Amino acid sequence: MVTIAGPPAVRAARDRPDGFHEAMARHGMPYLPHAEADFTQAGGERAMARLLVEHPDLDGVFAANDLMAQGAVAVLRDHGLRVPEDVAVVGSDDSGAATAGRPPLTTVRQPVEEMAAEMDRILLDVLARPGRGATSVISEPELVVRRSS
Cα–Cα–Cα angle for 35, 41, 43, rounded to 5 degrees: 35
Please determine, for residue 130, whether its predicted confidence score (pLDDT) is greater than 90: no
Please determine, for residue 113, whether its predicted confidence score (pLDDT) is greater than 90: no
Task: Could you please state the CATH topology (level 3) that the domain comprising 2-110 is classified under.
Answer: Rossmann fold (3.40.50)
Per-residue pLDDT tens over the stretch 92-112 = 999 999 999 899 999 999 888
Per-residue pLDDT tens over the stretch 53-65 = 999 999 999 999 9
Average pLDDT over residues 65-85: 97
Question: What pLDDT shows up at residue 115?
Answer: 81
pLDDT > 90: percent of the chain: 61
Which residues neighbour 15 within 8 Å (Cβ) at sequence distance 6 or greater? none
Backbone φ/ψ region at 148: left (φ over 0), alpha (ψ -120 to 50), beta: alpha
Please determine, for residue 12, whether its predicted confidence score (pLDDT) is greater than 80: no
- pTM attached to this predicted model: 0.85
Q: Of 20-29, 62-71, 77-86, give the lowest mean pLDDT range.
A: 20-29
